[in-house]
């Protein structure tokens, strides 16, 4: 049976899109999809059992938006860095792309770059002239926010998780934004283990699907890393009869991509896994996640995980005034 992208659409009024995060982080609302009960995110530790394992995405958002100019003409350009390639070049989105071609030199403050390929749909390759590109980007760049967030970011740390470690993402693992140091402490006090994976989030994750049939969508590739201690915690949790609780869809992709014969394959990897209805989940038993963009791969993943109940959960959240998307509230769901 062919699944249509329209099957994963819903009406999202602009008033439901959160423009700012709540404060404190763990005051965000949490819809318990087992009973459709309203909770607060700080209640999460009491919803889990001591033998469970909570898995976080420890990636850190890069200040990936660079504003600069074309050398020679002075024309303004804006670059959004997506990922660093193995040869030191960077994949990036560039605007206005129609006026930039291979060989064009760009200036970003005191850092120069050369366009190595003509942009295709705005995407191109850049090579920077700097000894420490990451350091220069951190100094010169801005944290990129999704286009549906129009309010200015008062504090850049609002778009980073409290456990962010390895820089490399173009967007935040948004479910993790609700996790406070207090929540982490209470999880551990209850005997719930907490561990991490690292998946560098790309912008394509949040984009609506552009084809009519789900099976025709081609997923972007993201890099991830599974530490040995996470694999060990995974196996021991399974042996103890505990559940694997993923904080966010990025954790789901990393775990499901690395699941193998009752364990996890450790080390770095790349995944283009598109989780859609019919996917046989091997690694994840419960997900804490935000409410996502209509017709996106993330809605499709949640539908694969919880079945048709996803629509009731979304309708309930909208009716009760939950806040949606990156700075919005969250939901807790167990596998159907």
β-sheet bridge partners, residue 112: 107, 129
Please provide the size of the chain in residues. 336
The residue whose two tokens read 């423009």 is: 19
pLDDT at 153: 86
**pTM for the complete prediction?**
0.93
Written as tens digits, the pLDDT of the chain (336 aa) is 689 999 999 999 999 999 999 999 999 999 999 999 999 999 999 999 999 999 999 999 999 999 999 998 999 999 999 888 878 899 999 999 888 999 999 999 999 999 999 999 888 999 999 889 999 999 999 998 888 999 888 888 999 999 999 898 989 999 999 999 999 999 999 999 999 999 999 866 667 788 999 999 988 889 999 999 999 999 999 999 999 999 999 999 999 999 988 899 999 999 999 999 999 999 999 999 999 999 999 999 999 999 999 999 999 999 999 999 999 999 999 997
What pLDDT score was predicted for residue 204? 67
What does the pLDDT read at residue 1?
64
CA distance 252 to 228: 17
Identify the pLDDT of residue 228.
98
Give the pLDDT score at 156.
86
Contact indicator for 327, 300 with CB cutoff of 8 Å = no
* H helix or E strand, kind and range, residue 249: helix 249-258
What Cα–Cα distance (Å) separates residue 158 from each residue in 114, 154, 173? 32, 8, 12
Nearest to 222 by CA among 59, 111, 15: 59
CA distance 226 to 64: 24
Burial of 217 (0-12, 13-18, 19+ CB in 10 A): middle
Cα(177)–Cα(22) distance, integer angstroms: 10
Which domains, ranges and CATH numbers included, belong to the chain? 5-61+152-334 (3.40.1780.10), 65-140 (2.40.10.240)
pLDDT at 85: 84
Token pair 């700080």 is at which residue? 42
In degrees, to the nearest 5, what angle opens at C-alpha 273 toward C-alphas 289 and 53? 45
Cα separation, 62 vs 160, whole angstroms:
10
Residue 183, phi then psi, degrees to nearest 5: -65, -45
User: Nearest 5 degrees, angle CA 80-CA 291-CA 197?
Assistant: 65
Which stretch of DSSP H or E encloses residue 234? helix 228-239
């Amino acid at each position: 049976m062919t699944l249509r992208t329209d099957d994963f659409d819903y009406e999202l009024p602009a008033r439901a899109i959160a423009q700012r995060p709540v404060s404190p982080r763990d005051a965000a609302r949490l819809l318990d999809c087992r009973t459709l009960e309203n909770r607060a995110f700080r209640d999460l530790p009491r919803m889990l059992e001591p033998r469970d394992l909570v898995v976080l995405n420890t990636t850190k958002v890069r200040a990936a938006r660079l504003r600069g100019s074309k050398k020679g003409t002075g024309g303004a350009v804006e670059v959004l860095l997506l990922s660093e390639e193995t040869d030191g070049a960077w994949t990036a989105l560039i605007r206005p792309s129609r006026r930039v071609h291979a060989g064009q030199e760009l200036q970003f403050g005191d850092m120069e770059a050369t366009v190595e390929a003509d942009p295709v749909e705005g995407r191109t390759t850049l090579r920077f002239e700097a000894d420490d590109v990451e350091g220069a980007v951190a100094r010169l760049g801005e944290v990129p926010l999704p286009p549906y967030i129009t309010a200015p970011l008062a504090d850049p740390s609002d778009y980073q998780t409290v456990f962010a470690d390895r820089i490399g993402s173009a967007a935040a693992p948004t479910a993790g934004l609700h996790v406070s140091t207090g929540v982490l402490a209470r999880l551990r006090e209850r005997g719930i283990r907490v561990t991490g994976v690292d998946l560098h989030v790309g912008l394509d994750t949040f984009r609506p699907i552009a084809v009519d049939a789900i099976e025709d969508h081609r997923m972007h590739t993201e890099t991830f890393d599974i530490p040995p201690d996470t694999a060990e915690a995974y196996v021991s949790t399974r042996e103890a009869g505990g559940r694997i609780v993923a904080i966010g869809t990025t954790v789901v992709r990393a775990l499901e991509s690395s699941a193998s014969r009752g364990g996890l394959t450790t080390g770095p990897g790349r995944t283009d896994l598109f989780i859609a209805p019919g996917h046989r989940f091997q690694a994840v038993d419960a997900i804490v996640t935000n409410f996502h963009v209509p017709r996106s791969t993330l809605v499709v993943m949640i539908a694969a995980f919880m079945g048709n109940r996803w629509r009731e959960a979304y309708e309930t959240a909208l009716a009760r005034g939950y806040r949606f998307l990156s700075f919005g509230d969250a939901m807790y769901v167990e596998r159907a």
